[in-house]
């Protein structure tokens, strides 16, 4: 039991946080998206951003490899969980919308998507009810964006097995 716990702790340590997510206005279209430089998966990062002024919307671009699963969550911070009321979508390398969400356990948004092809993906965040993501809304204020990218299950399991082997080696040495 203790070994399992240690293994899962080591697997947790292997998540590489590359950098805090920043935004640079104007990032209001996929064409002007802010680049997020990701590390090898599993990878996770977080940043505090804002819809400012009211009617702002934000785009971020990053690479996904086929089989990787992206999870992206916005948490409203102006009034925690409620304001700004965000909407979020994900565009594939052909700029086709492949995921969309308005509310997930709060007025914030959440997307989980497994990439079918490798390439540049675009994450767009706007205010309710700007379904076309062009800034046609009155939402305002800070939100937190949380992102994680995990490899396909076989790779993730192999990483876990690697961590377990590491624990076993350390125990033998002790
Ligand atoms: Ca912004
Ligand atoms: Ca913006
Ligand atoms: Ca919402």
Predicted confidence at residue 76, as pLDDT, reads 98
On whether residue 168 sits in a domain, the answer given is no
Please give the sequence-ordered ranges of beta strands (E in DSSP) within the chain, or none if there are none: 34-35, 43-51, 58-64, 69-76, 86-91, 97-101, 110-114, 119-127, 141-150
Q: Which ligand has an atom closest to residue 86 CA? A: 3
Predicted confidence at residue 160, as pLDDT, reads 85
How many angstroms is it from 82 CA to the middle of ligand 2?
19
pLDDT confidence bin for 26, thresholds 50/70/90 = very high
In Å, how far are 3, 31, 54, 105, 168 from 135, measured between CA atoms? 51, 15, 8, 24, 54
On whether residue 122 sits in a domain, the answer given is yes
Predicted confidence at residue 169, as pLDDT, reads 83
How many angstroms is it from 114 CA to the middle of ligand 3?
22
How many angstroms is it from 57 CA to the middle of ligand 2?
4
How many angstroms is it from 12 CA to the middle of ligand 2?
33
CATH code where residue 49 lies: 2.60.120.380
How many angstroms is it from 108 CA to the middle of ligand 2?
17
Residue ranges making up the domain that contains 102 = 16-151
Cα gap 46→42, rounded to integer Å: 14
The predicted model scores a pTM of 0.85
Model confidence pLDDT, tens digit, residues 131-165: 999 999 999 999 999 999 999 988 888 888 888 88
pLDDT confidence bin for 1, thresholds 50/70/90 = very low
Q: Which ligand has an atom closest to residue 100 CA? A: 3
Predicted confidence at residue 105, as pLDDT, reads 86
Model confidence pLDDT, tens digit, residues 59-115: 999 999 999 999 999 999 999 999 999 999 999 999 999 999 999 989 999 999 999
On whether residue 77 sits in a domain, the answer given is yes
On whether residue 134 sits in a domain, the answer given is yes
């Amino acid at each position: 039991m203790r070994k399992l716990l240690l293994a899962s702790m080591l697997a947790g340590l292997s998540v590489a946080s590359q950098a805090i997510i920043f935004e640079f206005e104007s990032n209001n279209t996929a064409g002007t998206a802010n680049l997020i430089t990701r590390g090898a998966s599993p990878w996770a990062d977080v940043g505090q951003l804002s819809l400012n002024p009211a009617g702002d919307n934000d785009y971020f671009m990053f690479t996904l490899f086929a089989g990787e699963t992206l999870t992206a969550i916005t948490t409203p911070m102006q009034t925690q969980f409620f304001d700004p009321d965000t909407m979020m979508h994900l565009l594939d390398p052909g700029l086709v919308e492949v995921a969309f969400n308005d509310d997930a356990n709060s007025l914030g948004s959440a997307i989980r998507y497994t990439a079918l092809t490798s390439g540049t993906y675009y994450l767009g965040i706007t205010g309710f009810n700007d379904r076309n993501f062009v800034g046609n809304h009155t939402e305002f204020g800070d939100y937190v964006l949380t992102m994680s990218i995990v490899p396909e299950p076989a790779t993730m399991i192999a990483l876990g097995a690697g961590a377990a082997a590491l624990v076993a080696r350390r125990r033998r040495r002790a």
